[in-house]
């Protein structure tokens, strides 16, 4: 496979480097990121989920956020 050289500013290189997963190459990282859908492509995907299930999902997310915050706060207070 042929390759092309591209120029990146240092800050963009560091961003891309942080986005790499495991042993992923920069090409693989860019391919993965470029393949993402636009947020607008997701509109309506959950429209057929019953309201009760959505309510339960949001409550679970809220509970998880609360517990995570409490855990982080306890960790900070314990010094670790």
Q: Is residue 2 part of a domain?
A: no
| Number of domains forming the structure of the chain | 2
Q: Domain residues for 66?
A: 46-80
> Which of 55, 77, 79, 59 is CA-nearest to residue 67?
59
Average pLDDT score over the chain: 91
> pLDDT by residue (tens digit) across 3-36?
999 999 999 999 999 999 999 999 999 999 998 8
Q: Is residue 68 part of a domain?
A: yes
Q: Is residue 1 part of a domain?
A: no
pLDDT on residue 27: 95
pTM for the full model? 0.46
Distances (CA, A) of 25 to 29, 40, 67: 6, 28, 36
Q: What percent of the chain has pLDDT over 70?
A: 99
Q: Is residue 3 part of a domain?
A: no
Q: Is residue 17 part of a domain?
A: yes
């Amino acid at each position: 496979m042929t390759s092309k050289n591209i120029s990146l500013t240092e800050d963009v290189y560091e961003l891309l480097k942080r986005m790499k997963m495991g042993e992923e190459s920069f090409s693989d990282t860019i391919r993965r990121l470029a393949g993402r859908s636009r947020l607008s492509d997701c509109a309506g995907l959950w429209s057929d989920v019953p309201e009760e299930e959505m309510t339960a999902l949001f409550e679970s997310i809220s509970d998880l956020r609360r517990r995570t915050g409490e855990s982080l706060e306890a960790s900070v207070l314990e010094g670790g």
